[in-house]
Structure 1
């Protein structure tokens, strides 16, 4: 899903926030913060569009399918409850259900009933799904390097990780575990 890369003036108007743009954007610091927001969104949209196109062209595989296969492959026994998978890949349950339907028809995943809770269902990666994932993985890693990592030195990576972790910690509900936000040395 693409995100907007700008904030229209009407969103910042006195009708929507109780002031005018001059009242809201009063310092150079505020300008820099808004510019960083726009740069974040533009960068994300640009990179994801390119990576999606490359995955489709090279593997005939939507990037969201790759993401689901990667989450399932890294899970215990290659299986996740549908609700847990939806949260992991940032999709609604209904959106994931439709996606898993298509992936199941392609032979990449199967659904298995949950033994502990008859209402629950597991999505399970198949052998064909594993083969598809491992075939696509080198190209995906190359895309990450080509479109993102090559531009960062170790200091940039540390700063970016620090900032994004700070935002995630600030925005996560208190009841969610904070230690599992981002893996990596900080």
Structure 2
């Protein structure tokens, strides 16, 4: 049986983790703004850069970028408008779409990557135990 104090401690740990996460996301947003990107936009570019052929199905991208389909659709529309990625219909299943990095998207990701890594190194150590340093 779980005691109430155990649940309260768990809730307090969760609250602290969310606070650290939010502070790190704000720092990432602030620094990535110099590359005209948000932290979420950078994450989408990164997931595409790391994928085969720099392309993923929207559903796979939503899962790997930790976004809802709706949030991802809006974000992809912004990045597409900026020329950083493009959507293509899946030839086997017209209901599915692929998202691919453009040359401009690969370039923007490459320019922003050192900034993102610097923020993670300098400000993420309290959230990224065992990884930073």
- Per the normalisation by structure 2, the TM-score is 0.86
| Cα distance change on mapping 1:77 and 1:37 into 2, 3 Å | same
Unaligned runs of 5+ in 1: 1-23, 159-186
Q: Which residue number corresponds to residue 44 of structure 1?
A: 21
Write the distance in 1 (CA, Å) between the matches of 2:86 and 2:110: 18
Specify the SS of the correspondent of 2:66: coil
Write the distance in 2 (CA, Å) between the matches of 1:93 and 1:31: 33
Moved over 2 A (4+): 24-27, 29-35
Unaligned runs of 5+ in 2: none
Write the distance in 2 (CA, Å) between the matches of 1:132 and 1:120: 26
Q: Is 1:103 aligned to residue 76 of structure 2?
A: no
Q: Which residue number corresponds to residue 121 of structure 1?
A: 97
Q: Which residue number corresponds to residue 54 of structure 1?
A: 31
Q: Which residue number corresponds to residue 68 of structure 1?
A: 44
How many residues align? The count is 130
Write the distance in 2 (CA, Å) between the matches of 1:157 and 1:120: 38
| Cα distance change on mapping 1:121 and 1:26 into 2, 3 Å | closer
> What do the CA deviations read for 1:116-147 (whole angstroms, capped 9, x no partner)?
21221100000000000000000100000011
Q: CA deviation at 1:30?
A: 4.5
- Per the normalisation by structure 1, the TM-score is 0.63
Q: Which residue number corresponds to residue 94 of structure 1?
A: 70
> What do the CA deviations read for 1:82-109 (whole angstroms, capped 9, x no partner)?
1111121122222212211111110000
Task: Report the aligned-residue RMSD.
Answer: 2.2
Write the distance in 2 (CA, Å) between the matches of 1:152 and 1:68: 21
Specify the SS of the correspondent of 1:115: coil
Q: Greater Rg, structure 1 or structure 2?
A: 1
Relative CO higher for 1 or 2, CA cutoff 8 Å, sep ≥ 6? 2
Write the distance in 1 (CA, Å) between the matches of 2:89 and 2:114: 33
- Give matches, 1:1-186, under 5 Å: 26-27=4-5, 29-56=6-33, 58-149=34-125, 156-157=129-130
